[in-house]
Structure 1
Amino acid sequence: MSNTDRDLIAELANVLTAQSYSQVVVRNYCAYARDFLAYLAQHEIPITTVKPPQVAQYLRYATIAFRKRRGRSPAPHWHSIPRSGIHALLRLAKGQWPPEPEVVGPEAALRHEICFKYETWLREERGLAAASIVALLAEARYFLVWQLDRGGAQSLNVLSVRDIDLYMGARSPGQRRVSLKDYAERLRSLLRYMYRTRYVASDLAAHVVSPMLYAYEGVPSILEPDQIATVLETTRRDKSPMGLRDYAILMLLATYGLRSGEVRNLTIEDIDWRSESLRVRHSKTGACSFLPLLPQVGEAMLVYLRHGRPRTDRREVFMRNRAPYRPLRNLASEVRRRLSAAGVKPPGKSGPHIFRHARAVEMLRASVPQKVIGDLLGHRSTEATVPYLKLATEDLRAIALDVPGSEVLA
């Protein structure tokens, strides 16, 4: 091994250690990275020119070598360990891994150009949130791949209503009506942009047909108070770092009815221990609320911060339990795992939002005014609160609620 490769391995070990990987993982990753560098040297491939197919080719080679050396095939997921070490090495050597996909051919170049400009327009001119831009771009890429593969780059000049109908028909199999409506709305946005920028000759946005959805037609899942108590108690008995984290998360969901993103984006600075308050940045409206930090919630979060949260410079409260330590991306898997462990099976969806529905219904049953419920949930209007209350029909009959449009016009 050359001195350059040795220096690279030593730097990789330092980077992994700084990211709080265990020493066992650091040794394994460096060992597989060292073998990969030896393979590259044998085939005279500079590391700066490595591409994904060459990594895949090496993993096949390493699997064959494993079989010859040990007389048996490796475990089904064995390759994930050397691959992780190699990817860490390549991120260090190349600055980015995996690399951006290559743009080859006129169709790919046109698709890349439209998506790049469309993303810039969505961000700078429309000022949309990052999550909205990701969803709109995903549909844009899907549509452009479908259309350009069918008719080539020139097909956009003669894009017709029939093409739009065929695309939506191809999009339909296996999709729920609410998903198709989302796809249609995103496609309309792209078509309006493409007409505005003269990529297509006519504005076809109005011709995108989507399924009809009726207000409040879907019935959400809901947890009863005894089910919530069971889930919390089962999770509380788990004293592992993951258990402490999940219990604090569930306490926030069940007590305040927060959205998943509001819990994930919570930072150390959002907790004011002196005034016993909690700052919540509402992910949909962008507004902030200050909620009282109830003792049982504060205790759960304090125990996690002291005994469960990994050491990291990140300011987000809830982190992954494995290196590299990053904020949680979503809470769905954690919530499903805790529901399953408690033997609680909701009739429908089983994500974090069911705690939000349950909290709204619980407050309604306690005769809390709808406006107050909406304020706690971070809603801008009372209409936004109605879907959360539709399961408590008997309770709604007993409480006077404001009905939009019920005012008598003079």
Structure 2
Amino acid sequence: MKPTCLHPAKSNAPSFASFPAHITDELHRYDAYLRDVRGLAAETRKNRLRVVGLLLRDRFERCAIDFRKVRPDDVRQFLSAQLRAGGLASASHLAATLRSYLRYRTVCGDQPGKLSTVILNPVHWKLASLPRALKPEEVIRLLDAVAGARRWPKRSHVIVRLALDMGLRSSEIAHLMIRDIDWRAGTVTLRGTKSLRQDVMPLPMACGQALADYLQHERPATSHPAVFVRRVAGRDQPVTSTAIQKVIKRACRS
């Protein structure tokens, strides 16, 4: 079931007295998603909601929330301010929280791929050099780089697309199965996520086209259900998350 119309149980939700009413309403909806779809505990939800509330207040304190108006620089400046202030959260927690909220907005029908590039590699953030969003021409160069790869260019292209357009983690890409793609509905089901729940996400057209191209023209002939397969000791196995990370890193260096 696609969680686009969750109704929050406000009696059990955290209190957000410091935020305007329209932001509080958005936080209650996000809380319902974290609780009912992601299966997160109350304390984890509280921490994530606090961070998202601050981001929304920075951008929409005096106007209605329109996620289409959030720019990469808005996210970058927010991250910079929070890391400099210290005490609110570590870089990894900020990244996990914002990635979670971007996923929620994707499920709601937004396309936050351009924002995902800001938090693509959060582990080694430094205050003086926070990751910046890729410009459109840089995204094109990145995709051109993988398209020109000597080995498995279509596989590399779709892997980078899944990371950029849908914000999927390397482990989620590695564990993606053929059955998880609903071509008719235009969705991808993520199974075995950290919450141990199923997460249904819209499949952007560019991602869908790249997946179809890879599956039809480059994926090895195999009965294994994984989208990305390798042959080890004569047996087909899904690729590892480390292998996915190497593809993305190689593309960024090109």
- TM-score band (shorter)? 0.3 to 0.5
Point out the structure with max Rg over C-alpha: 1
Which structure: greater helix fraction? Answer: 1
Q: Which has the higher contact order (CA 8 A, sep 6+)?
A: 2
TM score, norm. by length of structure 1: 0.29
TM score, norm. by length of structure 2: 0.45
